[in-house]
A and B are shown apart, each in its own frame.
Chain A
Amino acid sequence: MSHDWNSIDPQWAWSPYEPDARCPWNRARAAHLFRRAGFGADSQQLDQAVHQSPQQVVDQLIEPPADITAFDQSSGDLVAFALATGDVHRLAAWWMHRMLRSPFPLQEKMTLFWHGHFATSAEKVADAELMYRQNQLFRNHALGDFRRLVHEVSRDPAMLIYLDSATNRKAHPNENYARELMELFTLGEGNYSEQDVQQLARCFTGWEIRRKQFRFNPYQNDEGEKTLFGQRGKFTGDEAVELVLSRPQVPGFIVRKLFRFFVADEPAPPDQLLQPLAEQFREEDLQLRGLLRRMLGSRLFFSDRVVGSKVRSPVDFAVTALRSLRATTNVQMLSEMCGKLGQMLFYPPNVKGWDGGRAWINSATLLGRANLVRQVLSDPATRFDGGGLLDVARRHGKERPEALVDWLAELLLAVPLSETTRMELVDVGRAAGNETAFREVLYLMMTLPEYQVM
């Protein structure tokens, strides 16, 4: 398949998806939406989705559901435990539990996006509570106002500790946060000058972290005149953030990152393709909800070239299969294993976050993925809707091996299995016709190259 986007009309791409014979609204396309906008759907959710219009389903995914409050409350007990141990790895387990169980998965997916975007590693911050506060910040603004998010991140203790700005003195402005704010968080390389970095750093002097809280220290604040993007003024830190956010490159920069996260890993799309989205984002004053609604409800998003065009991240790899089968397991172990595969939550490799795409895949991680499935499936803590895989399959009338394979493929895979592969899997399921054989089918399916993309 050819891989540039030049042949695609941007207007067509982002207009609302309307099912037709070539691109029908069915369980497979609904599953695609749930995988990308969350962590997969179970069989029942797919049943409901196909009885609604695609736009209705997108609308539901994008708004907080009624039961999120109750979920947050019970999740609060879990995080209290994680924080009481002071162990960031337990905090990671808590987050993975949210991904697995939250009734508002898009919120968690966007929180993960912001965690990779405003990457901050506990390796350096070394404080579970600060990592949690930052995580809640991402969650609260997950689908909200990008402008406010940037303002709050600029004062976030974990971020400022990570980028060495916890003390930012007049005599030695620390340029680290100023540089990353423009290069990685809002504008992208080439859209600012070295002088802008120095001047912006001056605006942030006196911004400190004391006893885990943000504090403004007027004695260390450089109140002098600064020149930023050619404008002169005695800008405060907040005013400087506003100036950065008003640069014309911001919407395009964010839209490009969201495209790679939600739509396709590669190749990089031309600006022209992203133009309509960037314009909307600008017009809506950097509000995220409308942008996501349009992106996830678009013709391009549901087109065949987009389905299966992303490599699953370790978290997507581990969580979507479990969520699709309503499975519960030892999430502590699960999150550690994702760490071994290169995605330890709260520990991104550097300030650029996870690379994603093909970088997830190598011999070590592929064997690791297979072994992760083996371990999860043999762990006594792993249950499918409270019981065995066989029980779930029976409940859905899928106890015949053919039915099981087709049902699992529909839930888990974005790309179709070849007929020979399908028959091989059916053979495995038929071999004994019991729980072990069913788990073996699931193991093989999750180890196949087809499951590594979504």
Chain B
Amino acid sequence: MCRLRSSCGPLAFVFSVLTLTVPVLAGEGELAGLLPESTVLYVELQPAVVLERLLAHPVVKRIEALPQYKVALANPQLTQLRAAVTLVELRMQSTWPELVASMTSGGLVLAVDGKTDGWILLGKAANSEVAPRLRDTLLSFARQQAREHRQPDPVRSGEYRGILAQQVHNVRIAVFDQWYLATNKSDLGKAVLDIYLDKSAATLASKDSFQQAIQKRSPHTDVWAYADLDYLRRAGVAADLFSGKADNPAAELLLGGVLEVLRKAPYAAAEWSLSEQRACLRLYAPIESGWIRQPREYFFGAGLSGQAADLPRPEGTLLSISTYRNLSEFWLRAGELFDKETNDQLAQADSMLTTLFSGHDFGRDILGAIEPQWQLVVARQQFAADQPVPAIRLPAFALAGQLREPEKMRRELRRIFQSLVGFLNIVSAMQGQPQLELDEQRDGDLHLVLARFIPEADRPADAQVPIQYNFAPTLGFRGSRVVLASSPVLARRMLEDCPSEPVPPGTNTGLLIDREPLRQLLADNRTQLVSQAVLERGRSREEAEEEIDLVLKLLEAVDRFQMRLVTGEMIALEFELGFAGQQD
């Protein structure tokens, strides 16, 4: 048995001994069957398995190999913690991984009870010996510590229906057969013991919403959580969240529809899983189209019919988003969506935007001219040989959609674009800023209207090219497709038949981040990022360089990140992080 930390990797040693194969989430409602119906929050996990998966993971191995990791381990608080663990190991004559495994082989649950407002930790051990022994060991430490500080015995013991119940500080503990519990409310502890002793049927496990939630659980789940939304709403928890009037337009656009569902859904659940290939987090809740009130129909479309378009991935794409949002509807219904102060601000923004868009009503004429399927792409930028390369290289972005009346709107939008550039030029001339030059490119049915910052003729050679040169505002058309981009190159790529990735049916919003272009973007700007860390985080140059190189190195361990908001029978928000294959 590997007991000597020095001879093994500090985390890896833990798992050389973990040979037990335990079914994941063995509880399958067994633990829930001991909890009262009034349980509002329930998190179930298999600590030994979760830890094993995590620590045996190739990415974690990579992290362990980094020199910075060893430095982090030397942290005094960690050292203290390790000393305490060693002490427990010695008393129990076992290693802590073994202990974790045998203490939680039947599952472990952390729950919050609505009736008593208390929390409870409930677990099932492999046998009926280990839990009492661990309890006695821990209690003896508490007593010893109290003696050292000349304090009275901190442990109070009693009995509840023949079961020994103890209290240390604010925590109540009881061990019964293979089971054990710890809670901050004795009523909650008693409720669980009553269920256990009386074999009571009215438990969390028998609750409808819990049953429904657990049936929707994916097979390979390492950690699973359930929240009783009905109860939370009744109790007035986070009332603002459920009320429906927003004060933040950006948050409303991102999450308004989800909040709308949470107003009605009886429960929400979350599941987490990890494998060598990916880590997934999925949040889900039931949904019905009748729950969505009219002002928020912009979010999912009428009858939840809104479907996002494909995710475009032109060359160098580091972020691609595709979403269904009826923005015109959103803008026009702002009065019903937001509180008074926000609406006052939006009224001012509307006045300003309508001025900028040469008198066109922003909500109706501009946003209304475009279909509600929007795509946003952020891509690493390549600069043409004859263009100045700015010292800070920002990525290019492009926003794309479909025109409702292409013939009419192309000319209209082009004119608005031109007057906007003229307006910007007048303002920046007053401030002595560089000027934009209008240009047009036509290529078959592809048409670009663009504006470039003109290079300053007699600039000293060593002068920094300013950050504005990252931008060459471009409006592009092809058929009914329209693109607004910060670079003509990206606009063209978006309009030519660019590669794209389909999204599953029912996808409201899809998001994809690609590792390599992101890593390259950071690498492009390494010097600047180092300087920023020196000025804004008080780092020395060497430290800053080490930090950015570490980030670049860590990025090599991941592959791509995806997020999806999907509706159907359920509404689900899914996050998935893919890992790069082993390289060394």
* Chain A residues in the interface with B (C-beta under 8 A): 74, 77-78, 80-86, 90, 93-94, 97, 126-127, 129, 211, 213, 328-333, 381-383, 386
Q: Which residues of B405-463 are within 8 A (CB) of A?
A: 431-432, 456-458, 463
Say whether chain B's binding surface is mostly helix, strand, loop, or mixed: loop
- 17 A–B contact pairs at CB < 8 A? A77-B541, A78-B531, A80-B391, A80-B464, A80-B528, A80-B531, A81-B392, A82-B531, A82-B535, A83-B466, A84-B464, A90-B535, A93-B535, A93-B536, A127-B432, A329-B538, A333-B536
- 13 additional A-B residue pairs with CB within 8 Å, beyond A126-B431, A213-B458: A82-B531, A82-B535, A83-B466, A84-B466, A85-B392, A86-B468, A127-B432, A129-B463, A328-B539, A328-B540, A331-B536, A331-B538, A333-B536
The interface residues of chain A lying within 8 Å CB-to-CB of B532 are 81
Which of chain B's residues has its CB closest to A74's CB? B541
A307 to B507, CA, bound (A): 73
The interface residues of chain B lying within 8 Å CB-to-CB of A82 are 531, 535
B535 & A331 in contact (Cβ 8 Å cutoff): yes
B536 & A332 in contact (Cβ 8 Å cutoff): yes
* CB of B465 to closest CB in A, whole Å: 8
A127 to B434, CA, bound (A): 11
A381 & B391 in contact (Cβ 8 Å cutoff): no
Interface residues on chain B, number (Cβ under 8 Å): 27
> Is there a chain A Cβ closer than 8 Å to B506's Cβ?
no
* CB of A436 to closest CB in B, whole Å: 15
The interface residues of chain B lying within 8 Å CB-to-CB of A129 are 463-464
The interface residues of chain A lying within 8 Å CB-to-CB of B431 are 126
The interface residues of chain B lying within 8 Å CB-to-CB of A381 are 536-539
> Is there a chain A Cβ closer than 8 Å to B163's Cβ?
no
| Contact A77:B530 (CB < 8 A) given known A90-B535, A213-B458, A381-B538 | yes
Which of chain A's residues has its CB closest to B543's CB? A386
What are the 8 tightest A-B residue pairs by CB atom distance, in nearest-first order? Answer: A84-B391, A81-B531, A381-B538, A328-B538, A83-B464, A329-B538, A84-B392, A332-B536
The interface residues of chain A lying within 8 Å CB-to-CB of B539 are 328, 381
Which of chain A's residues has its CB closest to B529's CB? A81
| Contact A330:B458 (CB < 8 A) given known A84-B392, A86-B468, A126-B432 | no
A352 to B11, CA, bound (A): 64
B458 & A77 in contact (Cβ 8 Å cutoff): no
Which of chain A's residues has its CB closest to B457's CB? A211
* CB of A372 to closest CB in B, whole Å: 15
* CB of A209 to closest CB in B, whole Å: 10
Which of chain B's residues has its CB closest to A210's CB? B458
B458, B535, B537: which contacts A211 (Cβ < 8 A)?
B458
| Contact A85:B536 (CB < 8 A) given known A77-B531, A127-B432 | no
A211 & B468 in contact (Cβ 8 Å cutoff): no
* CB of A210 to closest CB in B, whole Å: 9
* CB of B82 to closest CB in A, whole Å: 22
> Is there a chain A Cβ closer than 8 Å to B301's Cβ?
no
> Is there a chain A Cβ closer than 8 Å to B467's Cβ?
yes
A129 to B390, CA, bound (A): 14
A383 to B456, CA, bound (A): 42
> Is there a chain A Cβ closer than 8 Å to B534's Cβ?
yes
Pick from A84, A97, A382 the residue with the most CB of B within 10 Å.
A84
* CB of A392 to closest CB in B, whole Å: 15
| Contact A84:B528 (CB < 8 A) given known A126-B431, A213-B458 | yes
* CB of A266 to closest CB in B, whole Å: 36
* CB of A385 to closest CB in B, whole Å: 11
> Is there a chain A Cβ closer than 8 Å to B527's Cβ?
yes
A383 to B431, CA, bound (A): 40
A86 & B466 in contact (Cβ 8 Å cutoff): yes
A78 to B539, CA, bound (A): 12
The interface residues of chain A lying within 8 Å CB-to-CB of B537 are 330, 381
* CB of B542 to closest CB in A, whole Å: 11
The interface residues of chain B lying within 8 Å CB-to-CB of A211 are 456-458
A74 to B532, CA, bound (A): 13
* CB of B248 to closest CB in A, whole Å: 26
Which of chain A's residues has its CB closest to B528's CB? A81
B390, B391, B534: which contacts A97 (Cβ < 8 A)?
B534
A81 to B535, CA, bound (A): 10
| Contact A78:B538 (CB < 8 A) given known A86-B466, A86-B468, A129-B463 | no
Which of chain A's residues has its CB closest to B431's CB? A126
* CB of A103 to closest CB in B, whole Å: 15
Pick from B458, B466, B535 the residue with the most CB of A within 10 Å.
B535
A90 to B531, CA, bound (A): 11
A231 to B70, CA, bound (A): 78
A74 to B539, CA, bound (A): 13
Query: Please, what's the 1-or-0 string for B505-530, where 1 marks a CB less than 8 Å from any CB in chain A?
Result: 00000000000000000000001101
Which of chain A's residues has its CB closest to B390's CB? A84
Query: Please, what's the 1-or-0 string for B68-100, where 1 marks a CB less than 8 Å from any CB in chain A?
Result: 000000000000000000000000000000000
A333 to B535, CA, bound (A): 9
* CB of A319 to closest CB in B, whole Å: 13
* CB of A382 to closest CB in B, whole Å: 6
B458 & A78 in contact (Cβ 8 Å cutoff): no
A328 to B431, CA, bound (A): 35
Q: Which residues of B464-482 are within 8 A (CB) of A?
A: 464-468
The interface residues of chain B lying within 8 Å CB-to-CB of A330 are 535-538
Query: Please, what's the 1-or-0 string for B356-393, where 1 marks a CB less than 8 Å from any CB in chain A?
Result: 00000000000000000000000000000000001110
The interface residues of chain B lying within 8 Å CB-to-CB of A85 are 392, 467
The interface residues of chain B lying within 8 Å CB-to-CB of A329 are 538
A77, A84, A213, A383: which contacts B538 (Cβ < 8 A)?
A383
A84 & B467 in contact (Cβ 8 Å cutoff): yes
Query: Please, what's the 1-or-0 string for B534-559, where 1 marks a CB less than 8 Å from any CB in chain A?
Result: 11111111000000000000000000
* CB of B215 to closest CB in A, whole Å: 46
* CB of B464 to closest CB in A, whole Å: 4
The interface residues of chain B lying within 8 Å CB-to-CB of A331 are 535-536, 538
Pick from A74, A86, A93, A330 the residue with the most CB of B within 10 Å.
A86
Which of chain A's residues has its CB closest to B539's CB? A328
A83 to B527, CA, bound (A): 13
A97 to B532, CA, bound (A): 12
A389 to B540, CA, bound (A): 18
* CB of B55 to closest CB in A, whole Å: 28
A77 to B463, CA, bound (A): 13
A277 to B43, CA, bound (A): 80
